Structure 1
Amino acid sequence: MSFLTDPFSFEFVQRAFWGGSLVAILCGIAGTWVIVRGMAFLGEALAHGMLPGVALATVLGVPVLFGAAASAVVMSLGIGALQRRGRLSYDTSIGLLFVGMLALGVIVISHAGSFATDATAILFGDILAIGVDDLVVLAVAVALGVVTAVAAHRHLVALAVDERVARVLGLRPRLAQTALIGLVTLAVVASYQAVGSLLVVGLLVAPAVAARPWTHRIPTTMALAAVIGVAAVFVGLVVSWHAATAAGATIAATAIAAAGVSGALRSVLSPLRRRVVSAVPVPV
């Protein structure tokens, strides 16, 4: 039992767990819609699109969260502008801005001196450095995420079913799409410090992928994804402590492993369930 509890005798590991758990809850909410709408590429693009803002904030000595948020907002607005005015497809708009923002971030980093340590933190995060102030910011982000998901639920469901039907019913699909992009942006920016820009997609997508086969309703999928994400944070911190591995990367790898295990279990149990159902006699 001490194997599991020893790491949490230190306050910085406790803060890492609570911070990671808040991130997992937020990513469970946003990630469910990412899976339902098939928008994993958007999450990845936003994660990489934060790079120039984070790099500039680091160079200028500004809080990196502000830089990350500014870059993510610029990219979100840019995607919408390219779609409306450039008449480009959704994926094409994301791809163009993704590469452009990533290139801009690399340019900023290449012109800054002695940036290696900061670049590592940008790419892979530093969950063990989460402080009390960071926990407050994450708690506010989770509250905003919950409010957004609840307020836009009907609109998002209608958008997921059929955009034309949503428009006919007056459920404003464009507003729903904006709310969804905002929710994903919030999750990506809030998750940045915990797992970094390269690994944030794993925590955003993997728990929702793991939860999706076991539930039929979106709210229960969100709840299960959040639980799986919190479990991934706990296991990842324990493993990283004893194996001396990077905490953020270990958490992301644990979440991805959970998605793999969930899929394998579902593929094994589904045929068994069908056999049981077919063996039950039908009353005549």
Structure 2
Amino acid sequence: MAWLIDPFTLPFMQRALLGGVLAAAMCAVVGTWVVVRGMAFLGEALAHGMLPGVAVATLAGWPPVLGAAVSAGVMSVGVGVVARRARLSADTSIGLLFVGMLALGVVIVSRSRSFATDVTAILFGDVLAIRTPDLLVVGTALVVLVGVCALFHRSFLALAFDRRTAATLGLRPRSTHVVMVLTVTAAVVTSYQSLGSLLVVALLLAPAAAARQWTRRVPSTMALGALLGALSVLAGLLLSWHAGTAGGASIAACAVGSVGLSVVARAVVRR
């Protein structure tokens, strides 16, 4: 059992595990709605779109999370504006903005010789460098977003399965969609410290998708997704420790791998 216990005797590994588990729980709750609603592309675009904000915040000496929040907010608002004004589909609007924001971030980084932060740390994160203030941010976000999802559960459920029914019931589907997008934005922004702006999508989608193989009800998917996400964090950190691989990428790989294992196991059970 030493291979399992010894890595977590170190404080930085304990913080990495706690931060990853908190992020996994938050992403499982929000990610369930992303999977059910079919918003995976938006979640990925928000993660990519944070790069310019993080780059500007780093150059200005501000907290990177603040820059990420501003950039992701611009991205989420811009999708709606472009879709309405340019008469484009939601997917087209998301694709255009996400490529534009990503390109802008790369331009800012490439033109700034004083850029002291490794770009890979922004894109892929550094889960082993999580500090106590980061844990407080993720923990607070977890409590707030779980509360929001509980408060809007009925509205989210109606919107996810039938927009016209939601409108008939007076649940304001347009406003509900805005709230749902904001929850996804908040989850992506507050989780990127663990996995970076690219790999955070793995925690947002994979555990919920894996849990969906075994559950029918949304609350059950959230609970099982949180458990699978936490196991992915544990397995990823152990893989990183013993194999010397990148922590964030290892966690993301384990999370995606859980989907494949769930699909295979479900097929075996059905047979």
TM-score, normalised relative to structure 2:
0.98
- Aligned match of 2:3: 3
Query: Aligned equivalents of 1:215 and 1:55: distance in 2?
Result: 40
Query: Aligned equivalents of 1:53 and 1:46: distance in 2?
Result: 11
Query: Aligned equivalents of 2:109 and 2:212: distance in 1?
Result: 38
Matching residue's letter, 2:103? A
- How far the C-alpha of 1:114 sits from its partner, in A, is 5.4
- Aligned match of 1:280: none
Mapping for residues 1-284 of structure 1, pairs under 5 Å = 1-113=1-113, 115=115, 117-271=117-271
Query: Aligned equivalents of 1:135 and 1:24: distance in 2?
Result: 13
3-state DSSP class of the match of 2:171?
coil
- How far the C-alpha of 1:85 sits from its partner, in A, is 2.2
Instruction: Return the index of the structure with the highest Cα Rg.
Output: 1
Matching residue's letter, 1:65? V
Matching residue's letter, 1:186? A
Query: Aligned equivalents of 1:3 and 1:253: distance in 2?
Result: 20
- How far the C-alpha of 1:161 sits from its partner, in A, is 1.6
Runs of 4+ in 1 over 3 A off after TM superposition: 114-117
Q: Report if the CA contact (8 A) 2:37-2:161 is conserved.
A: no
Query: Aligned equivalents of 2:231 and 2:101: distance in 1?
Result: 33
Query: Aligned equivalents of 1:73 and 1:2: distance in 2?
Result: 45
Query: Aligned equivalents of 2:165 and 2:117: distance in 1?
Result: 50
Matching residue's letter, 1:23? A
Number of equivalenced pairs: 271
- How far the C-alpha of 1:268 sits from its partner, in A, is 1.5
Query: Aligned equivalents of 1:239 and 1:110: distance in 2?
Result: 33
- How far the C-alpha of 1:2 sits from its partner, in A, is 0.6
Query: Aligned equivalents of 1:249 and 1:180: distance in 2?
Result: 27
Cα deviation code 1:93-152 (max 9, x no counterpart) = 101111110111011011111547520100110111111111111111101110110111
Cα deviation code 1:191-229 (max 9, x no counterpart) = 111001121111111101110010110011001000100
3-state DSSP class of the match of 1:88?
coil
Query: Aligned equivalents of 2:37 and 2:241: distance in 1?
Result: 36
Matching residue's letter, 1:190? T
Q: Report if the CA contact (8 A) 2:57-2:64 is conserved.
A: yes
Aligned sequence identity (%): 59
Query: Aligned equivalents of 2:48 and 2:137: distance in 1?
Result: 21
| Structure 1 portions without partners, runs of 5+ | 272-284
Cα deviation code 1:173-204 (max 9, x no counterpart) = 01111111011111111111100112111111
Deviates more, 1:84-93 or 1:41-50: 84-93
Matching residue's letter, 2:126? D
Query: Aligned equivalents of 1:117 and 1:136: distance in 2?
Result: 23
- How far the C-alpha of 1:84 sits from its partner, in A, is 2.3
Query: Aligned equivalents of 1:140 and 1:85: distance in 2?
Result: 36
Query: Aligned equivalents of 1:33 and 1:191: distance in 2?
Result: 17
Deviates more, 1:63-72 or 1:106-115: 106-115
- The RMSD of aligned alpha carbons is 1.0
